[in-house]
Structure 1
Amino acid sequence: MQMKENGVGFDFCAFTDFDNSAEVRLYEIGSYACEPEYSYGPIIRSRGIIHYVLSGKGKLRIGDKTHNIHGNQIFFIPSGVSAYYEADSDDPWVYKWLHIGGTEFLALLTEVGLSENSPVLDVPSPNNRSWDFNSAINEIFENYEREYYCIGKIYEIMDFLRKEYGHIDKASAESQQLQYVRTVIKYIQLKFSEQITMENIAGVCGLNRSYLSRLFHDATGYTIKGYLQTYRMQTAQKMLRESDLSISYIGNAVGYVDIFTFSKAFKKHTGCTPSSYRENGSAALAN
C-alpha cells in the first residue's frame, strides 16, 4: 500500500510488511522533507526505526539525552523506547525512514554500536568507494514492491555497516557475545526439525542457560524459545503455501512429533489451523 501527500504529514510512505524471514524484516519505508520545527513524539514504537538524514539538521531526544543530528547521518530508535525528534528551525532535515527488524539485523545494530544510549552513526562518503549507502537506500525505495530485492539490499547495507563499524577485535567481550547469538541462530536454522532443547543450545555455546538466554534476548528482542517457534512456524507456512505435502508430514518436518501438537502450536502462532491456512492462504490470518 502506497500513500503520498504534499506539504502535510510526509512526502511518501509505503507499507511493505516484508516479514517472511525471521532474520531481516522490513515493515514500512517513507520519506519527508520536513517543515521548520516539525516534530514527532514523544512516541514508543513496537518496532525499531532507522532514519537516514539526507540534508538539513534536527535533534533527537531519548530519555534525558538530546542528540544533534545533521545530513549524512543515521539515527536509530529501538522498539519500546520513548523518543522525540524535531527539525531545525532554519535548516530542517530531509530524511528517509525504514521500520525494520529481524534477529540478524538487530544483532548487527548492536555490533556496530547503534543503541538507545548511542543512536547516531555517520554514513561514510561515497567518494572513492565502489559501493554507495545512499544508492542502496534509493534502490529499496524505487523497488519497494519487490520483497526479495529489498531484503537483498538490506543485507548489502548490513555487510557495509559491519565492514565499516564492526568490531575487529574478535576476542572482545561484546564481539564474543554476538558470536554466541549467531551460533544460536545458525544452530536453530540447522536443527529446527529435531527435538532440540535449551540445554542442547546452551551446551553448543558452552554457556549457562540463563546467561545465554539473556544475551540472545538483549541482542535480538526474542527469547530463544520464541525464535525457535517463529522459525518453525514460518517454515511450516512456506511449506503449506508451496507444497501439497500432508499436514502431518509438515509438522514432523518442523520438529513436532504429532499432528495435534503441531496444529495447536500453529493456531496459537497464526490464529488459524494449518488446514485453514492452506485453503485460504494469508487471507486466513486476517479473519
Structure 2
Amino acid sequence: MMEYLAGNPSFLDLHITQYGLEQCWPQHDYGPAVRDHYLIHFILDGQGIFETGNRTYHLKKGQAFLIVPEAVTYYRADAADPWTYAWAGFQGIQAESYLRQAGLSMESPILDRIDPDTVERCIRHMHDSRALPSGRDLKLTSLLYSLFSHMAETNPPHAPESRKDDRQDKYVNKVVDFIGTNYGNKISISQIANFVGLDRSYLCAVFKSRTGSSIQEYLIAFRMNKACGLMGNSLLSIGDIARSVGYEDPLLFSKMFKKEKGLSPRQYRTAYFPG
C-alpha cells in the first residue's frame, strides 16, 4: 500500500505528502539518497539497519526512524528477518517543532517505542479515507496529528543528557508559540524576548543555533505562508490579507511577499487561485 499526495496550502502548519505500508524482501534497501520532506518509518515487524550522519542504527519491531530533508540516508532490511514498516511523509512550518515534542530531531532520529498495531491502524485509516466523498484532507491531517500524539505519549522525555539543549528547545518553542498566536499583530523581537523572559540578543542567538534561521526570518516566513493560505479567499483584497498577517502597509507586505515567494501577491493569487 502506497500513496503520494500533493502539497495543500490550506494546511501550512503540517500536511501529509505520502504514506504507506510495505513488507520488505530480505536485504531490500534504499539509498544512499536525500529527501525534500520529513519521513518517518515505523517498524511493525522484523529488523534492519538505518544509516545517517555517519552513524548506523540496528533497529527492530516497535522502533521508528526519522529522515530529515536534505540528509543523506540509507536503510536495509535484515537478511534473515526483514522488516515490515509503515511510513508517513510530511511537510509544514511547524513540522520540526512537533517532531521535537515527539522526541525526534536530526541529531536524535530514533524512537525506541511505538505500538505497531496503533501505527498500522492509523495508516490503514489514511488509506480508507480515499473513499470519503469530502473532507479527506482534514481526515488525513487529523490522522497525522494522531501519529504525533502517539509518538509523544509513548516516548516521554528521557533523563536529559543536555539540560542546556532542553532549555533552549523550550525557548524556541515559546517563540514559535508566540508568533503562531500573534503574527497578525504588530510585534517586535523585543516583545517576543520579554514574553520568553530572556535577553533579546541571547534569545536571537539561541533561536538561530537551534533552527538555522533568525527570529525575524521565521516571523516573515510564517506570515507569508499564512498569507498564501488566505489568497484563496476571493472576498479578501491584498490589503485585507496584508492586515491579517500583521502588515498595515500593503506596499511593504507586497515587497516582503515577493522577496519570500518570488512572485508578487497578485501574481501568486493568479497562478495558484485562478478565477
For the aligned pair, the TM-score class normalised by the smaller chain equals 0.7 to 0.9
Q: Residue 107 of structure 1 corresponds to which residue in structure 2?
A: 97
| Aligned residue runs from structure 1 range 137-156, under 5 A | 137-143=123-129, 146-156=136-146
For the Cα contact (< 8 Å) 1:202–1:208, is it kept in 2?
yes
Within the candidate set 137, 153, 171, 1:180 is matched to 171
Q: Residue 23 of structure 1 corresponds to which residue in structure 2?
A: 13
Q: Which runs of 5+ in 2 are unaligned?
A: none
For the Cα contact (< 8 Å) 2:113–2:154, is it kept in 1?
no
Q: Residue 58 of structure 2 corresponds to which residue in structure 1?
A: 68
| Aligned residue runs from structure 1 range 1-150, under 5 A | 12-18=2-8, 20-125=10-115, 132-143=118-129, 146-150=136-140
Q: CA deviation at 1:207?
A: 2.0
Instruction: Please say which of residues 63-72 and 222-231 is displaced more in the overlay.
Output: 222-231
For the Cα contact (< 8 Å) 1:22–1:230, is it kept in 2?
no
After superposition, the C-alpha distances for 1:1-60 in whole angstroms (9 at most, x for unaligned) are xxxxxxxxxx52313424544432322223333222222122233332211122222101
The yes-or-no answer on 1:226 pairing with 2:217 is yes
Q: CA deviation at 1:75?
A: 0.8
SS across alignment from 2:19: strand
Q: Write the distance in 2 (CA, Å) between the matches of 1:12 and 1:196.
A: 43
CA RMSD of aligned residues (A): 3.0
Pairs aligned (count): 269
Q: Residue 212 of structure 1 corresponds to which residue in structure 2?
A: 203
Q: CA deviation at 1:210?
A: 4.6
| Aligned residue runs from structure 1 range 188-267, under 5 A | 188-217=179-208, 222-267=213-258
Q: Write the distance in 2 (CA, Å) between the matches of 1:105 and 1:280.
A: 26
After superposition, the C-alpha distances for 1:168-189 in whole angstroms (9 at most, x for unaligned) are 889x555443332232122112
Q: Write the distance in 1 (CA, Å) between the matches of 2:32 and 2:201.
A: 34
Q: Write the distance in 1 (CA, Å) between the matches of 2:272 and 2:244.
A: 20
For normalisation by structure 1, the TM-score amounts to 0.79
Q: Write the distance in 2 (CA, Å) between the matches of 1:24 and 1:30.
A: 18
For the Cα contact (< 8 Å) 1:58–1:85, is it kept in 2?
yes
Q: CA deviation at 1:217?
A: 4.9
Q: Residue 163 of structure 1 corresponds to which residue in structure 2?
A: 153
For the Cα contact (< 8 Å) 1:202–1:212, is it kept in 2?
yes
Q: Write the distance in 2 (CA, Å) between the matches of 1:247 and 1:107.
A: 30
Q: Which runs of 5+ in 1 are unaligned?
A: 1-10
Q: Structure 1 residues 66, 168: CA separation in 2 closer, same or farther (over 3 Å shift)?
A: closer
Q: Structure 1 residues 48, 214: CA separation in 2 closer, same or farther (over 3 Å shift)?
A: farther
Q: Structure 1 residues 109, 249: CA separation in 2 closer, same or farther (over 3 Å shift)?
A: closer
Q: Write the distance in 2 (CA, Å) between the matches of 1:21 and 1:119.
A: 25
